[in-house]
């Protein structure tokens, strides 16, 4: 059984990730040398931002929080509580290293789709984006709230069912099931479509639930392992930079002829290059000799950064999205 899950921007956990990444982007926009380690959580009237920074930037973090939530379609009143502390001189050297323990990251690519991601993930993204387009651009979908989740299942090589959990206000569930099923069938005919399997779900989102940033992500879907992708960290941190770099490395191996490739790298504190590096194809063949270790330097990601890069990578996931530097040819 394979599956892939995509959360829309209004999902509590996704919203917290987007807030965290928007703050990171703002620090880096104002001071490219910023080092950042922050966390966002909250719901039910409050949202908390806490963490450590080393930066010359100074701005209204609360305004970034409110703007990001508004852009995600969240209209609930959430009072921001900000506790971001500048690192002391005594702690500075250690903090500037980023990670204080070795960090192991994983990247994957497959020739199943043109985007070099699994079919289940490709379809889940496609449906999630279509739902968001309906929510923001089609008045007949007025009932669709910003909190939704799409999961695609496959018993074999092809997806066979899709499960969607949505916030639908007071609209009768029977009617919206028909609308959602029609939308999915226009994108992927023949799939079994299940909408709110457990019944009506009129209200979701941060107004009624809590969320948290930096949870483990099934970035490539199941059965591949869930990984940390560095939400709330600056782009020099191995968790974030490594996730992007190993995805690029795996992608390059598939473009060279592998049907699928998994790349793992371990970074030790204070080092720019991985101390351990491994790559295998879909048959388990060792492809490590095909890798150029210099292309996995953490400095490369700092060179990739441009305004809103972290936010763009967080919105629909950092794999299979055009416009992200590690996804280019």
Measured between alpha carbons, how far is 89 from 87 in angstroms, rounded to an integer?
7
- Which residues, in sequence order, are CB contacts of 151 under 8 Å at separation 6+? 3, 4, 5, 6, 124, 162, 163, 164
Mean pLDDT of the 68-87 span: 94
The tens digit of pLDDT for each residue in 121-147 reads 999 999 999 999 999 999 999 999 999
Domains of the chain: 2-8+119-210 (3.30.300.10), 13-96 (3.30.300.10), 103-115+211-310 (3.30.300.10)
**99 Cα distance to chain centroid:** 20
Which pairs with CB-CB distance under 8 Å and at least 24 residues apart come from 308-312? 308/25, 309/25, 309/235, 310/21, 310/22, 310/24, 310/25, 310/28, 310/235, 310/240, 311/18, 311/21, 311/22, 311/25, 311/68
What b/e sequence results for 159-180 when a residue is b if at least 16 CB atoms lie within 10 Å of its CB, and e otherwise?
A: beebbbbbbbeeeeeeebbebb
pLDDT band at 200 (very low <50, low <70, confident <90, very high): confident
Classify 257 in phi/psi space as left (phi over 0), alpha (psi -120 to 50) or beta.
Answer: left
Measured between alpha carbons, how far is 27 from 173 in angstroms, rounded to an integer?
43
The tens digit of pLDDT for each residue in 153-163 reads 999 889 999 99
Classify 203 in phi/psi space as left (phi over 0), alpha (psi -120 to 50) or beta.
Answer: beta
Query: So what's the pLDDT on residue 303?
Result: 87
Query: So what's the pLDDT on residue 93?
Result: 60
Say whether pTM exceeds 0.85.
yes
Report which of residues 1 and 316 the model is more confident about: 316
| 229 three-class SS | coil
- Provide the 10 A C-beta neighbour count for residue 322: 7
């Amino acid at each position: 059984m394979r599956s892939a899950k995509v959360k829309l921007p209004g999902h509590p956990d996704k919203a917290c990730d987007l807030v965290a990444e928007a703050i990171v982007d703002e620090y880096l926009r104002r001071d490219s040398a910023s080092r950042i380690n922050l966390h966002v959580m909250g719901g039910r009237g409050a949202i908390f931002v806490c963490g450590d920074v080393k930066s010359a930037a100074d701005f209204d973090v609360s305004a970034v929080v409110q703007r990001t939530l508004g852009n995600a379609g969240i209209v609930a009143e959430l009072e921001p509580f900000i506790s971001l502390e500048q690192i002391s001189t005594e702690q500075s050297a250690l903090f500037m290293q980023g990670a204080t323990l070795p960090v192991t990251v994983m990247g994957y690519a497959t020739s199943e789709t043109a985007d070099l991601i699994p079919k289940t993930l490709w379809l889940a993204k496609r449906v999630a984006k279509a739902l968001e387009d309906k929510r923001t651009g089609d008045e007949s979908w007025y009932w669709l709230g910003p909190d939704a989740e799409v999961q695609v299942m496959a018993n074999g090589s092809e997806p066979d069912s899709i499960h969607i959990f949505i916030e639908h206000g007071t609209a009768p569930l029977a009617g919206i099931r028909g609308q959602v099923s029609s939308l999915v069938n226009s994108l992927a005919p023949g799939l079994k479509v299940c909408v709110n399997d457990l019944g009506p779900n009129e209200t979701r989102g941060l107004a009624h639930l809590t969320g948290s940033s930096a949870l483990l992500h099934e970035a490539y879907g199941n059965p591949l392992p869930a990984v940390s992708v560095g939400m709330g960290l600056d782009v020099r941190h191995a968790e974030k930079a490594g996730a992007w770099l190993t995805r690029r490395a795996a992608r390059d191996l598939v473009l060279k002829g592998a049907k699928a490739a998994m790349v793992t790298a371990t970074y030790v504190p204070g080092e720019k290059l991985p101390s351990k590096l491994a790559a295998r194809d879909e048959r388990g063949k060792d492809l490590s000799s095909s890798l150029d270790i210099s292309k996995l330097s953490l400095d490369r990601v700092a060179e990739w950064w441009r305004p809103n890069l972290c936010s763009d990578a967080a919105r629909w996931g950092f794999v299979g999205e055009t416009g992200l530097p590690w996804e280019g040819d």
